[in-house]
Amino acid sequence: MTDFRADELAEAAGISVALLRSYQSKGLLPPPRHLGRTALYGDHHLERLRHIADLKQRGHSLRSIVEQLDPGSPLRTGSTSERLRLRDVAERSGVPIEMLRSWEASGLLAPRGGPDGPTYDENDVRIVRAILLLIGTGLPFEQFLDVAETQLAATGELAAGAVRLFDDHVVGRLRGGDDPSVRAEALELMAEAIGELVSYVVSRRVLEVGTAAVAELAKRATA
């Protein structure tokens, strides 16, 4: 059994230490063992990283890889992540394909582009189900889209600004930054982090505004 420090493992796997840490934080790697204050990784960690690299080369997103790999179990090399067409999303969600197309036109659905046309995955199916949940609460969805229009339009500006910063400040620091696959991997990490940040900020803000409104109603009721 080989022992690797974090920098040695990253070098053996052909990735950066920062990316290794990111994989570990996402649950893609089992925790290392510790010898004093030194974290030591083994051959199974290197095998896991190579398997992750193989999955990414086959077009799997980090999110789908996280869902496939259980750090406490052996590698499931036979696992696959589906690339879906819009008709597949319609079948799995029960939403007519025409309605999905309208949601896509409004920016709620954002498929990945590819040589064979747009593709979707389980994340898109989950988003469609979330939309159905909103509609099921009685929310007038068309009016909600009007309210959200500014926010949806702003995502384009956010994306463009983030990519500019990525090009100006991140690409030059990437090991192997001239390799398109290395850039794509780093860009996907950034996109997922920004997505989580935006989701967090929006959900917290909605709760904050809603809680204040409920408190105001209660105050008026007791006045």
Q: What is the mean pLDDT of residues 43-72?
A: 80
Q: What is the pTM of this model?
A: 0.58
For 87-110, the pLDDT digits (tens) are 989 988 888 999 999 989 888 888
**Residue 84 and residue 118 in contact, taking contact as beta carbons nearer than 8 Å:** no
Tell me the pLDDT tens digit for each residue of 136-161: 888 888 888 888 888 878 888 899 99
Higher-pLDDT residue of 74 and 66 is: 66
What pLDDT score does 76 carry?
40
**Domains parsed from the chain with CATH numbers:** 6-68 (1.10.1660.10), 82-139 (1.10.1660.10), 143-223 (no CATH)
- Report phi then psi at 140, rounded to 5: -70, 100
Tell me how far apart the terminal alpha carbons of the chain are, to the nearest angstrom. 72
